[in-house]
A and B are shown apart, each in its own frame.
Chain A
Amino acid sequence: MFLVDQLTNVLTAISHPTRRAIIGQLASGPARFSDVAKPFDTALNAVTKHLKLLERAGLIERRKQGREVYISFRAEPLRQVVGWVHHYERFWNKQLDQFEQYFTDKKRKEKR
C-alpha cells in the first residue's frame, strides 16, 4: 500500500529541477556528498535540504563506508507512483506512442 502522504512526498521531491538533477546524477551510481554537491552552484546547506526531501520520499539512501557517506538512488517510490496513475492515462499514452511510432516509421520508409 502506497500512502497518499508518501505520494505527496515523492511528488514534492521531484518537483524541483535541482532535485531531479540529483536523481539523474545518482541514477548512474552511488556518490559521496561532496560529489553530489559539486555540480550545483548553490550553498552546501541548500544541497543538504534537497537531499533531506529526497530521503523523506525514500528516493535516496545514505550508507556509511569507512569515513565516507555514500548516497544512492532508490527507484522504487517512483515505480509506485506509476501505479497511481489512472490506467486510462497509461492506456492512451501507450496507444499514442504506438500511433506516433507508426507515422515515424512510415515517414522514414518514404524517405528511403
Chain B
Amino acid sequence: MQNSRNTLQFKIERTIPAPPSEVFDAWLNPAIPGNPWNAAEKFVLNAKVDGLFYWALKGASHYGRFTDIERPGRIQHTWVSPNTLGEESTVTITFTPQGEETLMTLVHSDLPDHERAKGHVNGWNYFMDVFREQFGNGSRKDYRWDEAHASAEK
C-alpha cells in the first residue's frame, strides 16, 4: 500500500490460540520465541510509553520508542534501522479477542518508499496465498534474516 507521503505499509495477521492478555504479555517477554527481542543477539527493552528499546542482530541496530501500550489490546512503537534509512517507521500491534483465541494484527507503516521496497507490497498477500496453497510455506523456509540484511546494505 502506498499513501500520499510516499511511504509503504503492510499488515500481517495471525490467530493465536490463547487469550489477548496472555498473547500481549508474551509479545513483550524476551523469553518467548517470535517477538523481536527474542530474535536479538543483544537488546535493551523498556516497555512503557516513552520507554526506549534497542536490539541488534548480525550487526544491524534497531531503535524505537513505545508510543502506546494498552494491555491487552494494543502496542505501538517507532522502529528505526538502516533499512528504514534511519527514518522513523511505526509498528502497531493489536490483539482482538476471537472466542478463546486472539486475532493478532501487526501493521508496519511509514516505511520509506525507496528502490528496494518498490513494486512488491500490493502483490504480497495473494502471492502468499498461492504459496500456501501450492508450496506449503516453502518460501518462508528460504528466508534468512542475515542474507536479507547483507543485500540491503549493498
Chains A and B bind each other:
yes
A interface list, Cβ under 8 A from B: 4, 7, 11, 14-15, 20, 23-24, 27, 75, 78-79, 81-82, 84-104, 106-107
Please determine whether B142 and A79 come into contact, CB atoms closer than 8 angstroms: yes
Contact with A along B113-126 (1 / 0, CB 8 A): 00011111111101
> Which 6 interchain pairs have the tightest Cβ spacing?
A99-B34, A84-B120, A98-B34, A87-B148, A11-B123, A98-B33
Please determine whether B139 and A102 come into contact, CB atoms closer than 8 angstroms: no
- Complex CA gap A85/B12 in Å reads 13
Please determine whether B131 and A78 come into contact, CB atoms closer than 8 angstroms: yes
B interface list, Cβ under 8 A from A: 8, 10, 12, 14-18, 23, 26-27, 32-36, 38-39, 83, 104, 106, 108, 111, 116-124, 126-128, 130-131, 133-135, 137, 139-140, 142-143, 145, 148-149, 152
Q: Say whether, besides A27-B134, A85-B124, A103 and B18 are in contact (CB < 8 Å).
A: yes
Please determine whether B145 and A94 come into contact, CB atoms closer than 8 angstroms: yes
- Complex CA gap A99/B23 in Å reads 9
- Complex CA gap A87/B140 in Å reads 12
